[in-house]
Amino acid sequence: MELAMQQTRGDRLIRILAVTLVVSVMNATMFNIVLPQIKEEFGLTFAQVGWVTSIYTLVYAVGSALYGKLADRFALKDLLTFGVLLLSLGSVVGLVSQAFWMVLLGRMFQAAGAAVIPVTAMIIPLRYFPVERRGRALGISATGLALGTAIGPVVSSFIVSFAHWRWLFCLPVILLLTLPYYRTYLDHESGRAARIDWLGGGLLSGAVALLVLAVTQGAWLLMLGSLLLFLCFALRVRTAEEPFIQPRLFRNRQYSWGLVIAVLAVGAGYAIPFLTPQLLVDVHQLSPKLIGYVMFPAAITSALLGRRGGKLADAKGDAFLFRIACLLLLLCYSLLSAFTDLPYIWIGVFLIFGMVGQLLLQIALSNTISKTLPKEQAGVGMGLVTMLNFLSGTIAAGLFGRAVDMGAGFTWNSWNAVPGSFVYSNIYMVIVLIDLLILVLYSFQYGRVRKSRGKVGAAALGDRPAP
């Protein structure tokens, strides 16, 4: 009876979480299309108005690591309540803003609150679903992410077509309606009453913040400052009585390899949302609105297949799903590298393989990494995964941008014969090699894990067998 109630509670939580993720992803991206309006209203430069996006990414990345650590100490329902309330406060500040600094303050509050959501999306499947049903839960979460990505630009365009751009701040307030459900279905479980190493957390946060700023602003001095703070954080971890991150977490070889693979996978996958729109502008001369239409079918297809991918992971195993994902990604980037000059409708078809592959890869990899963590380190472990995902995406965007600015006078792909697209073709070819490396690393580290070994991992996490 108790087991059935636990399963019902988990099913309801994952559905509410999917809705939360849809709204969260939309809130993160929907301001991108109104940056020109904000720039004109406040008389800003492109660099200045870019802080609307940069400040959100910066606080979001730092907050995900902090919330992950706090989730091992405090009840998740309390952290989520705090985060949603802070997110709503940011919405109010942004809605009434009369100066640009208030817009930035509203986005900072929003990001500081919303950063709890990706950590929650990692922890709920881990705590409320046994190993053999966790893939399905992660698939539903991934569907929420994909759906938010797909409809975000559409909803944003619809709102600003009849209302001022400030009303975009109001969308996250909807999440207040989810709090009673989270308060009802999340348990009161909290971690051990240990001290939190705020100095260590501050050093890590400072290092991450400087790294994001160094990449987005192109300031190498900030990069040196980030490296210095990372070194100080490493020293603190070794000397503190209760460090912010236990060193034994990184001595977990399977977890550490999972982090490496995740960083490579997310960085390479960022070529779809960041690099492909640039290709459609530079090579195909499409308008932003038409670019959204080209990318929309791929986003919707990935959203529709997310839950099915999670079920496939449960039925066939994470390694099986990971290999399918890699094959789809290799197909997508190989086609993009060879045929950048085809009519843009074909680019949209190629993107279907890529977006579906990236979604399935995230499901398989998240499921795999979650099985390597003991229960008492689940929060900080998955919080680090989330933080590194954002850092990887930010760094990849910077590298892609610099590569495009440099251009290319030759192509590595003999199928490509359009000089204006050589740089894109070459980048896609590099990503093909990265995806091959990811496939080899994953197969070497996890491909031969036996089913019995998975049961040991489930026991370490405190999971119960499925009914």
The rounded percent of the chain whose pLDDT value lies above 90 is 29
Average pLDDT over residues 7-27: 86
Per the structure block, which two tokens stand in for 294?
């080209």
- pLDDT given for residue 182 in this prediction: 92
pLDDT band per the 50, 70, 90 thresholds, residue 178: very high
- pLDDT given for residue 464 in this prediction: 36
CATH number for 2-196+244-460: choose from 3.90.1660.10, 3.10.20.30, 1.20.1250.20, 1.10.645.10. 1.20.1250.20
Q: Whole-angstrom Cα distance, residue 392 to residue 399?
A: 10
Q: Give me the residue spans of the domains in the chain.
A: 2-196+244-460, 198-205+217-243
- pLDDT given for residue 232 in this prediction: 93
C-alpha distances (whole Å) from 84 to each of 88, 172, 390 are 6, 8, 20
Q: What is the pLDDT of residues 161-171, one digit of tens each?
A: 888 889 999 99
- The HSE-up count of residue 270 (CA atoms within 13 Å, CB side) is 18
Q: pTM of this prediction? A: 0.80
- pLDDT given for residue 462 in this prediction: 40
- pLDDT given for residue 192 in this prediction: 57
Q: What is the pLDDT of residues 259-268, one digit of tens each?
A: 999 999 998 9
Q: Whole-angstrom Cα distance, residue 202 to residue 47?
A: 27
Average pLDDT over residues 382-406: 81
Average pLDDT over residues 9-20: 87
- pLDDT given for residue 239 in this prediction: 87
- pLDDT given for residue 450 in this prediction: 42
Average pLDDT over residues 357-379: 85
Q: Whole-angstrom Cα distance, residue 211 to residue 232?
A: 15
Average pLDDT over residues 88-99: 94
Residue 289 has pLDDT above 70, yes or no: no
- pLDDT given for residue 457 in this prediction: 43
Average pLDDT over residues 433-452: 81
Q: What distance lies between CA 70 and its chain's CA centroid? A: 19
Radius of gyration of the chain (CA): 22
Q: What is the pLDDT of residues 22-60, one digit of tens each?
A: 899 888 878 877 877 888 889 887 667 878 877 887 888
- pLDDT given for residue 456 in this prediction: 36
Q: What is the pLDDT of residues 193-237, one digit of tens each?
A: 567 788 888 888 888 888 877 876 667 788 899 999 989 998 998
Q: Lowest mean pLDDT: which of 137-141, 147-151, 321-325, 348-352? A: 147-151
Please state the length of the chain: 467
- pLDDT given for residue 459 in this prediction: 37
Q: What is the pLDDT of residues 98-129, one digit of tens each?
A: 999 999 999 999 999 999 998 888 888 888 88
Among residues 231, 235, 214, the alpha carbon closest in space to that of 223 is found at: 214
- More confident call, 107 vs 273: 107
Residue with token string 């730092």: 62
